[in-house]
């Protein structure tokens, strides 16, 4: 073949590729979540025929738009169950379009900020579900959420506060839909090889032998990590002692990951033998090798945080959104989180293994729940946080941890190494010393106020960061 | 014939020349406008908060950065890292490209495809597999313990604490194929007569390489070097795996991932962009001067010597060693995909093919692969057209505004993915005139725009390098014989720079397939997910077998990309390597 | 075939520096069918001028006409010229046939006719057996001929050649000169040929324009410019010359010039007035060398000299001789006398016939 022909061949090939690429471009690919062989369907179909005079397949379909970081197991089960529920109750089936913007609460929040940035009154999305209570408090504060109707039954079954954590917004802008605890996961053989005792409490994580062995999460990126750090502080009698304890854990860090989920992978990958993580996540990871990987909920030191749901400002399908919220918070919808496959009101394909937020559900469905689902209201391992202190300190603690540990990791570790070697009490006192502007609870309130202003916040955090760096370097010398 | 006195001769640019320059300038303006709309507008929307303070336009935040020692030292660190990475990548790529172009040996075609593999590491699962390999209690230390170098695995060093050197080494291993491609394309365009002349004049091999071949390769190396440099400057993946965070890009990424983003962060984005562009322009001034070639391509036919058994073994050792190191993470991904249990062991202790089978039969897999192909294919097509026009304007015309166009077209390399994606969300928000292409509807258009903009520099650099290496006389000859500009481009220029264009296209397509930031944020519903987002969704699902299922998707992604590269090679020149000898 | 008329063409690359002129106010006319040479040292602006005719470079001032058409502002592809590039600029990705057929193809000539044209011109340059080859597979001389064929196949109004022989080895170059002239002449094309090789110009041109420093120094037939160079530059550039200054002592049928080396005679029609200071130019091959002292003759002056060096070149010898005033002249001795050339240090007389003395 001579070269001109080959060149022509090439050109034709490239052109053809371009044409195909462009032609197939705008043609979308349909791929909606298909209901598997759902044993509920035949029963529901009968009910629907009786009530609405036609079969399930002939009912009109409504569309609901939701934004959520939840995985496909959860979204599928809820979409199927809600659609059937809605068909029986209202005579229409529902398609839920799940939007995912690649990340948890902070990704959703910054996405919504960009969407509402130009003064838009609607995001085109109805429901926001999942992402941490702090994120929802922030969304509520930014006026992105609309108040919901919550029935007395729901209000009675979900405490406004539990263990010091807000479970639902008093203004009904959001409401928790599930709860999760926070503990740690460790790799037993590696700890044995290192000669470290298996930890059972947060205090165990402050041990010198734990130095450099814990994979932690950055509290400014992970709400559950932030909640956990607050718990550690609260488990001590006062603020300076609590901070010293927290710093004891923080300075044992191998590294700070961007999310609690990323940190949870460390023990299995071998990057660090211990990692903090959310309970259901830890349980799932440990299931790969139960003899080697262990998840621990530290007794009396675990606070549960809610996984909230809310309706977005300018929801295009406001009524349907309310019905979805009602369904999720109904006893039936709650049971879906915890039941095994095949149970009545349980999931069809995958057990979800999450803890419902309604107290009553644990009694109503006690039989069919997955074994690893524990009733947080009975477990007796929750601790009560000082609500006011916590609320004020929340933002301050996150930024303080970031300045002291996340952004100063190398210097902090160097200082801690010296502390372990010398066991010098003077150095330890210096190590635990707080910046002047946050060393009392009163100061913290003042700082919390100032942190709300970005200019002040940047100045304060930069100053802290320098403060800690200089302090650590002084100790290491 | 009237002879005008000399001082009365009207010395002006001729109307023809003015018209030509005006036409070119008009195209430059159109291109800049296009980039302004699709790159600068979203960018400005995203970083504008960095330039307001107390409700007024201000450079306050800018000042805060310049007086912040930590941030400044991070910038210096970033530049040093980028220089080191580029240098290591050059040391890896150039010798291999030289071997490739000067000798023939068995298995060359296979190696030519394999060498591209380091570039196509799937996101998330690739990083995970690299972590597992280098972890303190990871695979490498367990191997060292097994062979007796370490007393036990826990006694080994934490390779993930490798810091600066580790980041530079891993980045170079990941990115050197870019330079290899450019170096090979450049070598293919160099007349062997030049080197022969030098050898003939008594220059030794090294001397010939240093003073003849290397300078002639410069446009190609500059093209690849720029991309590697800016990539290393703005890379977050590798530093995050190694936990090396004293870098501007990493700081930016972490700040942007936070719920409360301080305005200083946006100003820092601007500083990084300005820095990257300045370094690029500086680099162009120092290294990028074009070489005027009188002749190129071969004027003499050279039959590359065929290596014997020993030579072939050495060549395989050189290529195989580098490639083998660089694709260890890929092997890790494959192993993860087939592991049922992999904790505290060198290899998975239980093997299963369920994940691979599960992923293969899921309709979602087919959908996301098709989506990726469509997004990547369409955006590559757009890039080839737009990028070639821009490259041509830059190299072959004297239009005004070329430097601006050049810098703007390089900018996307340095723009953090999160920033640009946020900008696209903002400009397509409800009520905006671009709403209809927004991610709430079909995200095809906005994703193709995003992908195209982000990968444009690859084509622009690749094609520019190609253009700089073909003598302008070849195009003049065509014009002189009556061919219009477009006809000349189609019949003469494009075929001559086919190797460069194709190399750039392969890169563009691969990186589009592996795009993360825009895909995560803009492809929101499952039916529009590209494979990268599907991998992310699986990897973070929290399910028991999340890592393995995500890795299985990654395996199919690698097979797809590797396969399409091999296919491209097979179709376009029997072997991919052959296209570099056009 | 069209004539070429160039009026006051000037090229300034950087308008900020208007005194740096690549081509400076050049005017000339090339007749239809003429083979016209632009001759000059490198950097004299001859290639720039050629490129302006082709339309590859835009002039800063002046007009260019092809035939009756003012093409100054016409783009290169619409001028119908054909340029043979110094490095041939054969497209390496095309075969010989594809290269040659390119011009007709761009003009929209049908495939069959294109092939026929290509076949014809390739047979003119005796390359018809190489149609399937790639340029890389051809020798320099073959590439040169293909380049010429490519230009001819376009059937241009004028053919432009930019040092087409400079890349060939010496022997081939000599051989190609007459062949190339024959080829160009056989097509009847108006041709402009750029070279720095004065022998090429002398042996091939109908007329020559000698250029220096962006300007035309002299235009004329080869014989004209060789025998009657207008100035010292032209004389020096076209072959070698021995120069000596003198004063006109007597005018008439023979002008007598007194020089420091002795008396010279010159037969010039419009000689300068008596007493004028002039520079005489005598070509080395016009000097006849005689052994020993010889008296002047009425038609030839005799200058005593000493041989100080020599190079034997086979068919001729080149000697250097020191005159009475210590000037050193070059003298060429041809034929049999070359072998018998006087040794170094020999006293000789240089005989210079009046018709060979040119005043520049």
Residues in A closer than 8 angstroms to B547, CB to CB, are 265, 268
How far is the alpha carbon of A366 from chain B, nearest alpha carbon, in Å?
24
More confident residue, A300 or C220: C220
The CATH code of the domain that includes A193 is 3.40.190.10
How far is the alpha carbon of C133 from chain A, nearest alpha carbon, in Å?
10
Please give the residue of chain A at the shortest CA–CA distance from C97.
A4
Interface of B with A in 458-497 (CB under 8 A): 495
Tokens coding A178: 């599930």
Could you tell me the residue range of the domain that residue A449 belongs to? 387-477
Nearest to A330 by CA among A290, A365, A373, A289: A365
Q: Are strands C242-250 and C215-220 parallel, antiparallel or unpaired?
A: unpaired
Q: Is the dihedral of CA B423, B425, B431, B437 positive or negative?
A: positive
Of C61, C91, C151, the CB nearest to B11: C61
- Residue C254 pLDDT more than 90? no
Judge if A404 and A342 occupy the same domain.
no
Tokens coding B448: 């193709």
Determine which of A129-138, B423-432, C182-191 has the lowest per-residue pLDDT on average: B423-432
Q: Which of C90, C91, C94 to mutate to probe the A interface, most A CBs <10 Å? A: C94
How far is the alpha carbon of A2 from chain C, nearest alpha carbon, in Å?
9
Q: How many residues does chain B have?
A: 582
SS3 C250: strand
Inter-chain touch B243–A135, beta carbons under 8 Å: no
Q: A-C interface: how many C-beta pairs under 8 angstroms?
A: 11
Question: Domain for residue A379, yes or no?
Answer: no
Distance CA B93, CA B80 (A): 20
Tell me the β-bridge partners of A293.
Answer: A187
Tokens coding B405: 């166009």
**Neighbors of chain B with 3 or more C-beta pairs under 8 Å:** A, C
SS3 B460: helix
Judge if A98 and A157 occupy the same domain.
yes
Tokens coding A229: 């750090």
Show the domains of chain B with their CATH numbers: 59-126+161-291+306-343 (1.10.3720.10)
Inter-chain touch B15–C91, beta carbons under 8 Å: no
Q: What is the mean pLDDT of each run of 10 residues along chain B (582 residues)?
A: 48 78 89 92 84 80 84 91 95 89 80 84 88 90 87 81 87 90 78 71 74 79 85 86 85 79 84 85 74 48 73 89 91 93 89 90 88 93 93 86 88 83 83 80 90 91 83 91 90 84 83 87 88 88 85 92 75 44 36
Question: Domain for residue A241, yes or no?
Answer: no
Question: Domain for residue A103, yes or no?
Answer: yes
Distance CA C257, CA C359 (A): 10
- The predicted pLDDT at position A9 comes to 58
Inter-chain touch B481–C72, beta carbons under 8 Å: no
- The predicted pLDDT at position B572 comes to 57
Whole-complex ipTM? 0.84
Residues in C closer than 8 angstroms to A4, CB to CB, are 93-95, 98
Judge if A298 and A312 occupy the same domain.
no
Interface of C with A in 119-138 (CB under 8 A): 132, 134
Domain total of chain A? 3
Judge if A53 and A139 occupy the same domain.
yes
How far is the alpha carbon of A21 from chain C, nearest alpha carbon, in Å?
28
- The predicted pLDDT at position A144 comes to 92
| Percent of the residues in chain C that have a pLDDT greater than 70, as a whole number | 99
Judge if A154 and A91 occupy the same domain.
yes
Contact in structure between C269 and C232 (CB atoms under 8 Å): no
Tokens coding C333: 């001795």
For C228-280, give the DSSP string.
S-SSHHHHHHSS--EEEEEEEEE-SSSEEEEETTEEEEE--TTPPPTT-EEEE
Determine which of A260-264, A269-273, A386-390, C172-176 has the lowest per-residue pLDDT on average: A386-390
For B305-348, give the DSSP string.
PBP-HHHHHHHHHHHHHHHHHHTHHHHHHHHHHTEEE-SSSSS-
Distance CA B514, CA B534 (A): 11
- The predicted pLDDT at position B9 comes to 55
Interface of A with B in 162-181 (CB under 8 A): none
Judge if A52 and A112 occupy the same domain.
yes
Judge if A173 and A312 occupy the same domain.
yes
Inter-chain touch B136–A117, beta carbons under 8 Å: no
Contact in structure between C43 and C135 (CB atoms under 8 Å): no
Distance CA C155, CA A233 (A): 93
Judge if A101 and A154 occupy the same domain.
yes
Residues in C closer than 8 angstroms to B492, CB to CB, are 91
SS3 C69: strand
Judge if A403 and A352 occupy the same domain.
no
Please give the residue of chain B at the shortest CA–CA distance from C155.
B481
Interface of B with A in 372-431 (CB under 8 A): 373-374, 377-378, 380-381, 384, 422, 425-426, 429-431
Inter-chain touch C87–B471, beta carbons under 8 Å: yes
Judge if A62 and A130 occupy the same domain.
yes
How far is the alpha carbon of B95 from chain C, nearest alpha carbon, in Å?
26
Nearest to A199 by CA among A305, A301, A304: A301
- pLDDT average, residue stretch C327-356: 84
Interface of A with B in 258-297 (CB under 8 A): 258, 261, 265, 268-273, 280-281, 284-285, 287-289, 292-293
E strands, B520-562, are none
Question: Which one-letter DSSP state was computed for residue C80?
Answer: -
- The predicted pLDDT at position A97 comes to 93
pLDDT tens-digit map of C303-320 = 999 999 888 887 888 889
Whole-number average pLDDT of chain A: 86
Range list of H helices, chain C: 46-54, 96-106, 111-124, 140-153, 170-187, 198-204, 222-227, 232-237, 336-339
- The predicted pLDDT at position C263 comes to 87
Q: Does C60 touch chain A (CB under 8 A)?
A: no
Show the domains of chain C with their CATH numbers: 4-235 (3.40.50.300), 240-359 (2.40.50.100)
Distance CA A230, CA A395 (A): 10
Tokens coding A64: 């609901």
Which residue do the tokens 């910046």 mark? A435
Name every residue whose Cβ is closer than 8 Å to that of residue C243 and which is 6 or more positions away in sequence: C232, C235, C236, C279, C280, C281, C360
Interface of C with B in 86-115 (CB under 8 A): 87, 89, 91-93, 102-103, 106-107
**Neighbors of chain C with 3 or more C-beta pairs under 8 Å:** A, B
Question: Domain for residue A37, yes or no?
Answer: yes
Question: Domain for residue A243, yes or no?
Answer: no
Question: Which one-letter DSSP state was computed for residue B116?
Answer: T
Judge if A62 and A104 occupy the same domain.
yes
State which of A96-100, A118-122, A342-346, B238-242 shows the largest mean pLDDT: A96-100
- The predicted pLDDT at position B288 comes to 63
Residues in C closer than 8 angstroms to B10, CB to CB, are 61
Q: Which uninterrupted H or E stretch holds C257?
A: strand C255-259
Inter-chain touch C92–B297, beta carbons under 8 Å: yes
Of C72, C76, C102, the CB nearest to B14: C72
Name every residue whose Cβ is closer than 8 Å to that of residue B147 and which is 6 or more positions away in sequence: none
Nearest to C284 by CA among C236, C326, C217, C221: C236
Ramachandran category for residue C39: left, alpha or beta (phi over 0 → left; psi -120 to 50 → alpha): beta
Inter-chain touch B377–A221, beta carbons under 8 Å: no
Distance CA A287, CA A264 (A): 13
Of A21, A100, A255, the CB nearest to B377: A21
Please give the residue of chain A at the shortest CA–CA distance from B432.
A118
Question: Domain for residue A237, yes or no?
Answer: no
Inter-chain touch C8–B476, beta carbons under 8 Å: no
Question: Domain for residue A5, yes or no?
Answer: yes
Q: Does B526 touch chain A (CB under 8 A)?
A: yes
Which residue do the tokens 């200054």 mark? C245
Name every residue whose Cβ is closer than 8 Å to that of residue A477 and which is 6 or more positions away in sequence: none
- Residue A176 pLDDT more than 90? yes
Q: Are strands A253-257 and A214-217 parallel, antiparallel or unpaired?
A: parallel
- pLDDT average, residue stretch A298-304: 76
How far is the alpha carbon of B539 from chain A, nearest alpha carbon, in Å?
10
- The predicted pLDDT at position A26 comes to 42
Judge if A332 and A295 occupy the same domain.
no
Distance CA A404, CA A412 (A): 8
SS3 B229: helix
Whole-number average pLDDT of chain C: 89
Distance CA A442, CA A139 (A): 27
- pLDDT average, residue stretch A172-182: 93
Tokens coding B260: 């409360």
Residues in B closer than 8 angstroms to C27, CB to CB, are 1, 3
Residues in B closer than 8 angstroms to C74, CB to CB, are 16
Inter-chain touch C132–A4, beta carbons under 8 Å: no
pLDDT tens-digit map of A143-174 = 899 999 999 999 999 998 887 778 999 999 99
How many other C-beta atoms lie within 10 A of the C-beta of residue A8? 11
Question: Domain for residue A74, yes or no?
Answer: yes
Please give the residue of chain C at the shortest CA–CA distance from B492.
C91
């Amino acid at each position: 073949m001579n070269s001109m022909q080959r060149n022509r061949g090439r050109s034709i090939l490239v052109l053809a590729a371009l044409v195909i690429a462009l032609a197939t471009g705008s043609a979308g690919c349909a791929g909606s979540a298909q209901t598997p062989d759902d044993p509920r369907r035949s029963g529901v179909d009968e009910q629907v025929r009786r009530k609405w005079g036609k079969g399930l397949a002939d009912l009109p379909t409504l569309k609901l738009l939701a934004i959520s970081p939840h995985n496909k197991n959860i979204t599928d089960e809820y979409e199927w169950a809600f659609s059937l529920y809605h068909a029986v109750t209202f005579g229409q089936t529902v398609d839920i379009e799940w939007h995912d913007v690649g990340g948890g609460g902070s990704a959703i929040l910054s996405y919504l900020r960009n969407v509402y940035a130009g003064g838009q009154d609607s995001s085109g999305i109805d429901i926001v579900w999942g992402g941490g209570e702090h994120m929802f408090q922030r969304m509520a504060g930014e006026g992105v959420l609309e108040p919901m109707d919550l029935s007395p039954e729901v209000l009675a079954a979900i405490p406004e506060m539990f263990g010091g954590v807000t479970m639902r917004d008093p203004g009904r802008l959001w409401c928790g839909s599930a709860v999760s605890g926070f503990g740690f996961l460790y790799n037993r053989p590696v700890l044995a090889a290192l000669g470290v005792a298996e930890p059972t409490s947060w205090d165990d994580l402050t041990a010198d032998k734990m130095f450099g062995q814990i994979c932690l999460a950055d509290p400014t990126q992970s709400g559950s990590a932030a909640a956990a750090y607050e718990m550690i502080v609260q488990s001590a009698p006062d603020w300076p002692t609590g901070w010293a304890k927290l710093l004891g854990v923080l300075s044992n860090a191998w590294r700070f990951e961007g999310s609690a989920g990323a940190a949870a992978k460390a023990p299995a990958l071998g990057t660090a033998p211990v990692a903090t993580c959310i309970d259901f996540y830890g349980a799932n990871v440990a299931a790969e090798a139960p003899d080697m990987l262990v998840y621990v909920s530290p007794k009396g030191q675990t606070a549960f945080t809610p996984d909230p749901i809310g309706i977005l400002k300018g929801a295009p399908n406001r009524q349907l959104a309310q019905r979805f919220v009602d369904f999720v918070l109904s006893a039936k919808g709650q049971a879906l989180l915890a039941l095994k496959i095949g149970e009545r009101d349980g999931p069809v394909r995958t057990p979800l293994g999450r803890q419902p937020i309604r107290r009553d559900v644990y009694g109503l469905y006690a039989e069919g729940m997955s074994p690893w689902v524990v009733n947080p209201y009975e477990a007796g391992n929750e601790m009560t946080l000082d609500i006011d202190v916590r609320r004020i300190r929340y933002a301050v603690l996150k930024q303080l941890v970031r300045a002291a540990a996340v952004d100063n990791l190398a210097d902090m570790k160097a200082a801690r190494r010296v502390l372990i070697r010398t066991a010098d009490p003077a150095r330890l006192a210096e190590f635990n010393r707080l910046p002047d502007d946050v060393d009392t609870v009163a100061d913290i309130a003042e700082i919390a106020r100032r942190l709300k202003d970005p200019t002040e916040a940047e100045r304060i955090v930069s100053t802290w960061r320098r403060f800690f760096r200089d302090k650590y370097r002084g100790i290491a010398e | 014939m009237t002879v005008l006195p000399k001082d009365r001769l009207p010395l002006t640019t001729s109307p023809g020349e003015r018209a030509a320059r005006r036409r070119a300038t008009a195209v430059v303006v159109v291109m800049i406008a296009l980039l302004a709309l699709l790159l600068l507008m979203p960018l400005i929307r995203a970083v504008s908060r960095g330039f307001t303070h107390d409700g007024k336009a201000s450079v306050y935040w800018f000042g805060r950065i310049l007086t912040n020692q930590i941030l400044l030292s991070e910038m210096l660190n970033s530049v040093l890292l980028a220089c080191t990475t580029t240098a290591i990548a050059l040391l890896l790529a150039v010798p291999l490209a030289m071997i490739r172009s000067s000798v023939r040996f068995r298995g060359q075609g296979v190696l030519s495809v394999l060498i591209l593999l380091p570039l196509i590491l799937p996101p998330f699962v690739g990083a995970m597999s690299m972590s597992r390999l280098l972890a303190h209690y990871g695979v490498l230390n367990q191997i060292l313990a097994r062979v007796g170098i370490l007393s036990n695995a826990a006694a080994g060093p934490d390779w993930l604490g490798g810091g600066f050197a580790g980041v530079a080494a891993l980045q170079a291993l990941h990115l050197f194929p870019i330079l290899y491609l450019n170096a090979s394309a450049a070598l293919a365009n160099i007349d062997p007569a030049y080197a022969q002349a030098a050898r003939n004049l008594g220059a030794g091999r090294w001397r010939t390489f240093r003073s003849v071949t290397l300078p002639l390769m410069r446009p190609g190396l500059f093209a690849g070097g720029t991309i590697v440099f800016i990539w290393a400057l703005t890379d977050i993946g590798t530093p995050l795996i190694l936990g090396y965070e004293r870098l501007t890009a990493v700081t930016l990424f972490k700040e942007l991932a936070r719920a409360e983003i301080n305005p200083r962060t946006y100003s820092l984005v601007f500083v990084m962009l300005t820095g990257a562009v300045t370094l690029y322009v500086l680099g162009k001034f120092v290294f990028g001067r074009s070489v005027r070639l009188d002749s190129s391509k071969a004027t003499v036919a050279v039959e590359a010597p065929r290596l014997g058994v020993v030579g072939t073994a050495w060549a395989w050792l050189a290529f195989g060693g580098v490639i083998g190191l660089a694709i260890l993470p890929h092997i890790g991904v494959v192993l993860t995909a087939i592991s049922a249990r992999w904790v505290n062991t060198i290899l998975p202790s239980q093997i299963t093919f369920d994940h691979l089978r599960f992923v293969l039969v899921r309709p979602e897999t087919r959908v996301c692969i098709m989506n990726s192909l469509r997004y990547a294919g369409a955006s590559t097509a757009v890039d080839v057209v737009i990028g070639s026009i821009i490259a041509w304007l830059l190299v072959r015309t004297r239009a005004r505004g070329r430097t601006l166009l050049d810098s703007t077209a390089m900018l996307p390399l340095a723009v953090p993915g999160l920033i640009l994606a946020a900008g696209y969300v903002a400009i397509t928000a409800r009520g905006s005139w671009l709403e209809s292409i927004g991610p709430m509807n079909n995200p095809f258009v906005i994703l193709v725009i995003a992908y195209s903009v982000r990968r444009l520099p690859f084509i622009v650099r690749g094609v520019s390098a190609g253009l700089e290496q073909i003598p302008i006389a070849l195009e003049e000859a065509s014009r002189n014989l009556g061919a219009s500009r477009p006809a000349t481009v189609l019949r003469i220029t494009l075929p001559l720079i086919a190797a460069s264009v194709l190399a750039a296209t392969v890169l563009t397509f691969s990186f589009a397939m592996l795009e993360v930031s825009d895909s995560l944020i803009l492809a929101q519903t499952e039916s529009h997910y590209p494979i990268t987002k599907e991998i992310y969704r699986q990897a973070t699902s929290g399910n028991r077998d999340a890592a393995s299922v995500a890795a299985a998707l990654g395996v199919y992604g690698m097979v797809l990309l590797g396969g399409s590269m091999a296919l491209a090679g097979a179709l376009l020149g029997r072997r991919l390597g052959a296209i570099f000898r056009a | 075939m069209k004539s070429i008329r160039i009026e006051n063409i000037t090229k300034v690359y950087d308008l900020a520096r208007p005194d740096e002129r690549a081509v400076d106010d050049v005017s000339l006319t090339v007749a239809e069918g003429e083979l016209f040479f632009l001759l000059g040292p490198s950097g004299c602006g001859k290639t720039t001028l050629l490129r302006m005719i082709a339309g590859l470079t835009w002039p800063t001032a002046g007009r260019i006409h092809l035939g009756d058409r003012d093409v100054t502002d016409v783009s290169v592809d619409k001028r119908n010229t054909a340029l043979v590039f110094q490095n041939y600029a054969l497209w390496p990705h095309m075969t010989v046939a594809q290269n040659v057929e390119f011009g007709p193809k761009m003009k929209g000539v049908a495939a069959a006719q294109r092939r026929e044209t290509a076949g014809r011109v390739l047979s003119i340059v005796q390359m018809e057996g190489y149609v399937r080859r790639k340029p890389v597979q051809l020798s320099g001389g073959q590439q040169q001929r293909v380049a010429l064929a490519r230009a001819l196949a376009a059937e241009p109004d004028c053919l432009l050649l930019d040092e087409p022989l400079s890349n060939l080895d010496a022997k081939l170059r000599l051989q190609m000169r007459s062949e190339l002239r024959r080829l160009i002449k056989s097509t009847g094309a108006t041709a402009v040929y750029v070279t720095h090789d004065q022998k090429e110009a002398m042996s091939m041109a109908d007329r020559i324009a000698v250029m220096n420093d962006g300007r035309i120094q002299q235009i004329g037939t080869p014989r004209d410019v060789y025998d009657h160079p207008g100035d010292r530059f032209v004389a020096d550039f076209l072959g070698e010359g021995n120069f000596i200054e003198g004063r006109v002592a007597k005018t008439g049928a023979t002008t007598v010039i007194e020089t420091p080396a002795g008396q010279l005679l010159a037969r010039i029609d419009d000689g300068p007035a008596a007493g004028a200071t002039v520079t005489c130019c005598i070509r080395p091959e016009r000097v006849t060398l005689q052994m020993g002292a010889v008296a002047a003759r009425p038609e030839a002056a005799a200058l005593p000299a000493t041989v100080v060096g020599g190079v034997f070149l086979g068919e001729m010898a080149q000697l250097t001789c020191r005159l009475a005033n210590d000037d050193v002249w070059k003298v060429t001795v041809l034929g049999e006398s070359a072998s018998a050339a006087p040794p170094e240090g020999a006293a000789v007389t240089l005989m210079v016939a009046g018709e060979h003395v040119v005043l520049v």
